[in-house]
Amino acid sequence: MIGMLTTSKFARVTVAVVFGLSLFASAQAANPAAGAPAAAPPPDSPSAAASAAAKATGTKVGTINIEQAIFTSNEGRKDFEALSKKFEPKQTELKGLADEIDSLKKQLSAQQDKLNDESRDKLVKQIESKQKSFDRATQDAQEDFQGQQGEIGNKILTKMAPLIVKYSTDNGYGMILDTSQQWPRGPVIWYGPAVDITQPIVEAYNTQSGVPAPPAGSAAQKPAAKPAAKPPASPPPKQ
């Protein structure tokens, strides 16, 4: 019922805002100077970017599906399943409102030839009022869900970023491209599984986080990207 945040939008928001900045910051934090650590520059500063780039001495090009890495990690699956359950009462509420609107529209369609103008107009206004309430409630729920989903993704990615940097550096990668978006929306036209580091990163993150795998048969590994259900359109006005 709630129009869940689509994975493509999640990738645009998360990767653009967090991925580049977190990698720069984590690369520098992973190699502090001897003695008391100096205050690190902001993650989006030129010096942080230069520090990360300077450590990329490898020549291989790899890929990672950031979206998949987040959603399929044990922590991601656990947190997103909890978020989905949290919103189940709201989805039930919205479904009840949608069913009520649908019932009124069916009533109007079945009785429009028997109703006088005043009764018909009253029913039409009732439907319109409930439809507006439904649309407003759906939008509010959508925005709330998207915000909390983004917070979970950003939290996980911030902790995952140093692992990506370390794995890439240790294995001779000089560049990692995100494949969350398929071409032409994303930068990668084609790649083979041999260059993809998604699974090793997920495994390393699961080990680091210590979060056990969800039990078999638990909720899907990624929040559903369902469109918000809307009641059928109202019948045309009586001529």
- pLDDT, tens only, 213-229: 988 766 544 444 443 44
The tally of CA atoms less than 13 A away on the side-chain side of residue 122 is 6
Give the pLDDT band of residue 233 (cuts 50, 70, 90). Answer: low
b/e per residue 179-218 (b: at least 16 CB within 10 A):
bbbeeeebebeeeeeebbbbeebbebbbeebebeeeeeee
What angle, rounded to 10 degrees, do the helices at 20-29 and 117-170 form? Answer: 30
- Is the pTM higher than 0.85? The answer reads no
- What b/e readout covers 129-161, taking b as 16+ CB neighbours within 10 angstroms? ebbeebeebbeebbeebbebbbebbbebbbbbb
pLDDT digits (tens, 9 = 90+) for 67-80: 999 999 999 999 99
Spell out the domain ranges in the chain.
7-27+44-179
Give the model confidence (pLDDT) of 27-59 as tens digits: 444 444 433 333 333 444 444 445 555 566 788
Using an 8 Å Cβ cutoff, are 138 and 2 in contact?
A: yes
